[in-house]
Amino acid sequence: MIIVIGGGPAGFFAATAAREANPDKPVVILEKQDRVLRKVAISGGGRCNLTHYCENARELATHYPRGGRELIGPFTHWGVADTIDWFAGRGVRLKTEPDGRMFPESNSSATIVDCLGSTARVAGIDVLTRHPVAGIVRRKSGGFLVELADGTSLECDQVLIATGGRTESPVENRSVDGYTLARSLGHDLIQPVPSLFTFKVEDSRWTEMAGLAVENAKIRAVGPDLPAKGFSAEGPLLLTHWGLSGPAVLKLSAIGARRFHEIGYRFELGIDWLPDRKQPAIEADLQDWAHRNGKKSMISGGPENLPRRLWQALLQVAGIPENSKWAELSRKHRNLLGGLLKNTTMPITGKATNKEEFVTCGGVPLSEVDLRTMASRVCPGLFLAGEVLDIDGLTGGFNFQAAWTTGRLAGIAMAGLGIPADDEGDPS
Ligand SMILES: Cc1cc2nc3c(=O)[nH]c(=O)nc-3n(C[C@H](O)[C@H](O)[C@H](O)COP(=O)(O)OP(=O)(O)OC[C@H]3O[C@@H](n4cnc5c(N)ncnc54)[C@H](O)[C@@H]3O)c2cc1C
């Protein structure tokens, strides 16, 4: 028998792959909560962004701040095209948004939850909810005893830990998290910390602009405790009543997740509002605009295509009086404005979890797993898949794709079908 601990996307994909590959082997999913696939249900704002249109394994891997290099091999065995085909084969058609994110055509995560549930049912998988696992014991004679929180236990030949990332909630139902289970069987742990969060800003000049969005900005985190070049990311930026959000911020939070955690989420953020332009060219434009629009008030707007509220805030930060006319723009203020357009700085004083999607950076080290099969190198018969591993992606469907891929490989291997022919997946 195979036991899968965790009824999330990785667990379901693994269980289904195992059962379909080897119908003679019973498969049980143990889920501690009263419902399976909870995160799938709430994902992507209820729409489930289940993968990202990117068929090249190497390119796909660049979207993972942790685990990217190691995932190249697994993605060549189960990539985005395989995920699309898998769902299409079960009647779920997907659509691609202009930015590459893929959703079910129904625009509802229930389609994905139902598809995974019915596939598991048809495959004859036993899905046991309210079955929190409290321990795993490796038996001398081979196989495992999986101990449940109610004191009972189940025997199996192979066990998969697919318990997901770190939850913010206290340990429920006397279950233990997957990290503790993996450690009890000899694995190490890279400290789990949050990724994909938004930045807190306390300066009301910026938070008053809640709702303002900039199509493309380059942001850079700097500070004495950060690498000399800082961390940077580019993309849409959103000002909120709380601070900063949007794809650029989420990307930066992922890139610097571990370091930001170590420094208590306090650093300075520089924003380049016009990343495609150089400061001298911007200043030349300002000067030209001032010559041609001398009688106009500066507050009414300038040459750069920026939201008006943002422009007004920049004038305020530059110390330009509200009633100034363009003809009055001094060289000093032109320099100041040029500098601010390329680098507005603001202190970041904390983080908030992104409600749309958050993941855990850290987990079981990939060096301890055979990436062709997701088998533990430390404990024979143990497998690991999904977010419990030290893998995390950017927003855009990458985290689910990692769960589908690692779950699938684990399932096939647990079914006893060996390892894929090409061993590119294992760089060690
Ligand atoms: C709000 C939100 C929205 C998201 N949206 C997206 C998105 O649109 N696209 C995307 O790619 N990613 C998204 N993610 C990330 C994605 O949901 C996760 O990366 C993914 O679910 C990880 O899959 P998993 O199977 O490894 O773990 P999980 O989905 O976390 O599943 C693990 C399961 O194991 C169970 N479990 C844990 N411990 C035990 C135990 N001891 N005994 C029994 N059961 C146990 C848990 O209850 C859980 O059901 C989102 C995350 C959040 C929080």
Q: 302 C-alpha to center of ligand 1: Å?
A: 47
For residues 364-386, average pLDDT: 97
For residues 388 and 205, which has the higher predicted lDDT (pLDDT)?
Answer: 388
Q: For residues 160 and 9, is the Cβ–Cβ distance under 8 A?
A: no
Q: Which atom of ligand 1 is nearest to the CA of 386?
A: 26
**Residue 246, CA distances (Å) to 214, 304, 342 in order:** 9, 21, 19
**283-308: pLDDT as tens digits:** 999 999 999 999 999 999 989 889 99
Predicted pLDDT of residue 141 = 87
Distance (Å, rounded) from C-alpha 222 to C-alpha 230?
5
Per residue in 217-243, pLDDT (tens digit) is: 999 999 999 999 999 999 999 999 999
Cβ(83) – ligand 1 distance below 6 Å:
no
How far apart are alpha carbons 354 and 197 in whole angstroms?
5
Of 39, 387, 406, the one to substitute when testing ligand 1's pocket (max ligand atoms within 8 A of C-beta) is 39
User: In the chain, how long is the greatest CA-to-CA distance?
Assistant: 89
Look at 379 and 425; give whichever has higher pLDDT: 379
Domain 2-194+355-414 belongs in CATH node 3.90.1150.10? no
Distance CA 177, CA 166 (A): 8
What pLDDT digit, counting tens, does each position of 75-104 carry?
A: 999 999 999 999 999 999 999 999 999 999
Instruction: Please write the tens of the pLDDT for every residue from 316-337.
Output: 999 999 899 999 999 999 999 9
pTM of the model: 0.93
Domain boundaries, the chain: 2-194+355-414, 197-353
DSSP string spanning 283-298?
Answer: HHHHHHHHHHTTTSBG
Is residue 406 within 8 A of residue 386, CB to CB? The reply is yes
- Cβ of 194 closer than 6 Å to ligand 1, yes or no, is no
42 within ligand 1 shell (Cβ under 6 A):
yes
